[in-house]
Chains A and B, each alone.
Chain A
């Protein structure tokens, strides 16, 4: 933005308006909320039975503790699901505003592009981690998977540190959508590769050794491993801090790149006058 700078506090206060708007919109689709909860349960049910045929001896230890496949995969599903849903919502939110014809209505208000982007996803940034916690609770209660109670808080902190990464990737995807209209395919493929090789569903040891090396700098793998160590092994705050020291810079850089990409995409749209086109 050029000219007079917007008051950051006043700008951030607008986020509650976006939150209310999206909460009211989602509440108007009650069936969709129930369907989402059902899909969480059905996903857990499938992996519960898959775990019955997986030899626990082949599952790597987490935080020094032996575990079952259902406990192992639950954390992977929780994190990769958070990434998939968060990303889908982040990407679609701008596209949806374009389709609905509301993007230009938002852009003619005295609101910065960053706040419009953040506001458009603030509901999901809160809802998606909440949904992840619900998933963990369903598995824990419904399928008798016991997580270490002392690991809940460190695991949630790790999850919170992962959210800027999701937001950053989502912002890059949004910028692609704004610029290319259908620019999410490559990003979707990249995210799949990162998730598939993160150890979410299978131990990384099954892959070639270089995949294991890459997993050390893959934020998804770092998050999943860190959360498993806390929830399954109760590794404690020292291990959590080690994970956070790796994860926070990765998330921070991704978020900055994402916001920069979105800003450049918006500037290009303003120059070309094609913001409302889809």
Chain B
């Protein structure tokens, strides 16, 4: 169930749709592509009302669905693309030419004659991207395209999408991988249980982070800091935050900053207490913290 979701994506922009499982991301994409009729509200793609004219709207939409098995596994990647091209009204000759071009665009030119069933997960994702781009869509809808891909594969998909926006296409990108939207998406909408809990830029989303926890690697007088040294450091920190054992390795401790505290000041206080700060790492990224704050934990 979706309620009160309002999303606008301009030409050449990437809008990320975040949310935990069951938040309504796929439902939203189904409504956008006309697979699901909304009980109220409307979706317009390139000025066309999707519910009133789904066929007309679909001519302007390219879809990269989640999951692998969205192709005919016994026929080649090229034949798959040519088939879908025909469904968009292309002649066989046009569809083949367009399919070959798109396969080359996504780096699958050499694998075009291979059966789609023999493609790796990453190759199927690129084939899916090639299919979505067959008709130079004005709106590209991408449903968790990097799910299950290695970092290189995910980067490749993102590069392809960035390239598409250069041609003026608008992109709706759903994901659960928070790290991938930084420096990629122009806008973010967070859905939780069918409602929008955040809409804004990635930077605005990061500012939603409230709890800030770090892992700090410290050295005391001997080697790892002792309990008495930690006690001293905590006294020095005062209202800035608290240090506590992170478990296991005694060299690493957890630093929880209070709201408004500045990390540099906290580290200076720890140094002033006689401990050497060797390394600092964020326990969770600001994006992850914001996401967790804006969504309801699932049991």
Interface residues, chain A, with chain B CB atoms under 8 Å away: 1-4, 6, 10, 13-14, 16-18, 20-21, 24-25, 28-29, 100-102, 104-112, 270-273, 275-276
Instruction: Establish whether residues A112 and B55, one from each chain, have CB atoms under 8 Å apart when the complex forms.
Output: yes
Most buried by A among B51, B56, B67, B115: B56
18 new A-B contacts at CB < 8 Å, known A4-B56, A100-B72, A110-B55 = A2-B53, A2-B54, A3-B52, A3-B55, A17-B95, A21-B79, A24-B74, A24-B79, A25-B74, A28-B75, A105-B63, A105-B71, A105-B84, A108-B35, A109-B58, A109-B87, A110-B56, A270-B35
| Residue of B48, B56, B71, B95 touching A102 (CB-CB under 8 A) | B71
Which residue from chain A places its CB closest to the CB of B80 in the assembled complex? A21
Q: Determine the chain B residues whose CB is within 8 A of the CB of A21 once the complex forms.
A: 72, 75, 79, 83
Instruction: Establish whether residues B75 and A106, one from each chain, have CB atoms under 8 Å apart when the complex forms.
Output: no
Q: Determine the chain B residues whose CB is within 8 A of the CB of A24 once the complex forms.
A: 74-75, 79
Instruction: Establish whether residues A111 and B75, one from each chain, have CB atoms under 8 Å apart when the complex forms.
Output: no
Shortest beta-carbon distance from A107 to chain B in Å: 6
B60-90 contact mask (Cβ, 8 Å, vs A): 1 or 0: 0101010111111111000100111011110
A105 to B73 CA separation, bound complex (whole angstroms): 14
Instruction: Establish whether residues B54 and A3, one from each chain, have CB atoms under 8 Å apart when the complex forms.
Output: yes
Shortest beta-carbon distance from A97 to chain B in Å: 10
A24 to B92 CA separation, bound complex (whole angstroms): 15
A1 to B83 CA separation, bound complex (whole angstroms): 22
Which residue from chain B places its CB closest to the CB of A5 in the assembled complex? B55
Instruction: Establish whether residues B89 and A110, one from each chain, have CB atoms under 8 Å apart when the complex forms.
Output: yes
Q: Determine the chain B residues whose CB is within 8 A of the CB of A104 once the complex forms.
A: 35, 65, 70
Interface residues, chain B, with chain A CB atoms under 8 Å away: 27, 30, 33-37, 48-49, 51-56, 58-59, 61, 63, 65, 67-75, 79, 82-84, 86-89, 92, 95, 115, 131
Q: Determine the chain A residues whose CB is within 8 A of the CB of B37 once the complex forms.
A: 270-271
With A4-B55, A108-B58, A110-B56 in contact, is A101–B69 under 8 Å at CB? yes
Instruction: Establish whether residues A4 and B53, one from each chain, have CB atoms under 8 Å apart when the complex forms.
Output: yes
Q: Determine the chain A residues whose CB is within 8 A of the CB of B51 once the complex forms.
A: 2
21 interchain pairs, CB-CB under 8 A:
A1-B54, A3-B55, A4-B56, A14-B86, A17-B83, A17-B86, A24-B75, A24-B79, A25-B74, A28-B74, A100-B69, A100-B70, A101-B70, A104-B35, A104-B70, A109-B58, A110-B87, A111-B55, A270-B37, A271-B36, A273-B36
| Residue of A6, A25, A110 touching B72 (CB-CB under 8 A) | A25
Q: Determine the chain B residues whose CB is within 8 A of the CB of A109 once the complex forms.
A: 58, 84, 87-88
Shortest beta-carbon distance from A36 to chain B in Å: 17
Instruction: Establish whether residues B30 and A273, one from each chain, have CB atoms under 8 Å apart when the complex forms.
Output: yes
Q: Determine the chain A residues whose CB is within 8 A of the CB of B84 once the complex forms.
A: 105, 109
